[in-house]
Structure 1
Amino acid sequence: MVNHLKQIVVQKVSHDDHEVIISLLKEIAQWLKDHKINQWSYLLVGGDDEEIIYAIQHDHTYKVLKDDTLIATFTLSPEQSEWDQHIFGKDAFSDSMYLHRLAVVPEYMNQGIGKEILHWIQENMGKEKKYIKLDCVADNVKLNRFYQDNGFEYLGETDNHSKYRKVLVRRA
């Protein structure tokens, strides 16, 4: 599935790309740490490597390209992880997609790429589930504002993580 927006191309990650995606996420995690942003430091020590590989192998991870350059990645899972159950509770209706590791390469930050990715998800995933849910570190003010500015409803906080939900556009 290839989709073109104004600036970007979104594609599912191939099963052999796990090293590239893990490397990209660690590069971004290091940038966040260097800029004193409390987000993803556990990735620097191999935290989530197995979950990242699992998501790629199950076709839940996407890469975002601009002019054939990898500029972002995200995982969108139709099933809850243990973390999702911890944060949101058990999804009894199985009506949600779970967004994880939405990451934009620092050189492309503040150019609307994250917003375009959220728009792509909204336009392309509505036929699968009713909601998109995500969490982020509660004290990351800028990231919390980003999700609120993009129409996500704040659902509260669990374990120092803000919880968000947005209704997906229903597609036939």
Structure 2
Amino acid sequence: MVDLSDRKPSKGKLNSQWIDIRKARIEDLDEVQKLYVEAAKWIRSSQGIIQWNEDTFTMNYLEQFIREKDVFVAYLDGELVGCFSVQWKYEEIWGELFHDNAGYIHKLVVLRKYKGQGIGSYFLTWAEDYIKNEGKKWLRLDCMADNPALNQYYLSQGLVFQGRYDGRGWSANLYEREIITK
């Protein structure tokens, strides 16, 4: 895991509003849990997909997630609008396609009321810069193969389909985007 203790929060503009992205802290747990549980319920109720089980997002699970991963939270005008992590190892899903020259985006979520406002795209761009600053050349992620809207979204963001992982009772599509250095 990358040492983030000396990193300052990142502040940028999104549609003329300021969005702050910073490393998640234990004091963010309540809001982060609410965000993930709400997203899991919405995916299941609106699309009939159990992509995330809301029972997974216990305080213990999320505390471990925040302590052990590079997890980031994003605030817009003081409101938590999203969360995601960047991982440096993800061999269990990527298998033979895995390599060390990538950062792997995981558990990206945006508060539903901000859908369609460019926050997900902003997160991907921010994560790409973060990954590039760590000397990596690729942004990678996986998403539930049974979620056509999400798969289409990632394709629209310039990610390229690389393959499929078939787990026990579920499948994930694997995507990547080369990070262009200028």
TM-score normalised according to structure 1 size = 0.84
Q: What is the Cα deviation at residue 3 of structure 1?
A: 1.6
CA distance in 1, matches of 2:35, 2:132: 28
Going from structure 1 to structure 2, the CA distance change for 1:40 and 1:19 (only over 3 Å counts) comes to farther
Q: What is the Cα deviation at residue 5 of structure 1?
A: 2.3
Q: Deviations over 1:93-138 (max 9, x none)?
A: 4222111111001101111110111111122320212212111111
User: In the alignment, is the contact (CA less than 8 A) between 2:161 and 2:176 conserved in 1?
Assistant: yes
- Answering whether residue 35 of structure 2 is matched by residue 24 of structure 1, we say yes
Corresponding residue to 1:58 among 68, 74, 84: 68
User: In the alignment, is the contact (CA less than 8 A) between 2:20 and 2:75 conserved in 1?
Assistant: yes
Please tell me the residue identity of whatever aligns with 2:133.
K
Q: What is the Cα deviation at residue 157 of structure 1?
A: 1.1
Please tell me the residue identity of whatever aligns with 2:45.
D
| Larger CA deviation: 59-68 vs 48-57 | 48-57
CA distance in 1, matches of 2:173, 2:73: 25
User: In the alignment, is the contact (CA less than 8 A) between 2:36 and 2:57 conserved in 1?
Assistant: no
- Answering whether residue 178 of structure 2 is matched by residue 167 of structure 1, we say yes
- Answering whether residue 119 of structure 2 is matched by residue 143 of structure 1, we say no
User: In the alignment, is the contact (CA less than 8 A) between 2:33 and 2:58 conserved in 1?
Assistant: no
Calculate the aligned-residue CA RMSD, in Å. Answer: 2.3
Overall identity of the aligned pairs, in %:
25
- Answering whether residue 94 of structure 2 is matched by residue 88 of structure 1, we say yes
Partner of 1:123: 129
- Answering whether residue 166 of structure 2 is matched by residue 156 of structure 1, we say no
**Which structure ranks higher in relative contact order (CA pairs < 8 Å, sequence separation ≥ 6)?**
1
- Answering whether residue 45 of structure 2 is matched by residue 38 of structure 1, we say no
Please tell me the residue identity of whatever aligns with 1:140.
N
Please tell me the residue identity of whatever aligns with 2:160.
E
Corresponding residue to 1:134 among 131, 137, 141: 141
CA distance in 2, matches of 1:154, 1:32: 22
Please tell me the residue identity of whatever aligns with 1:23.
K
Please tell me the residue identity of whatever aligns with 2:174.
K
TM-score normalised according to structure 2 size = 0.80
CA distance in 2, matches of 1:169, 1:124: 13
Q: Which runs of 5+ in 1 are unaligned?
A: none
Aligned length: 166
SS in 2 for 1:123: helix
Partner of 1:113: 119
CA distance in 2, matches of 1:39, 1:127: 34
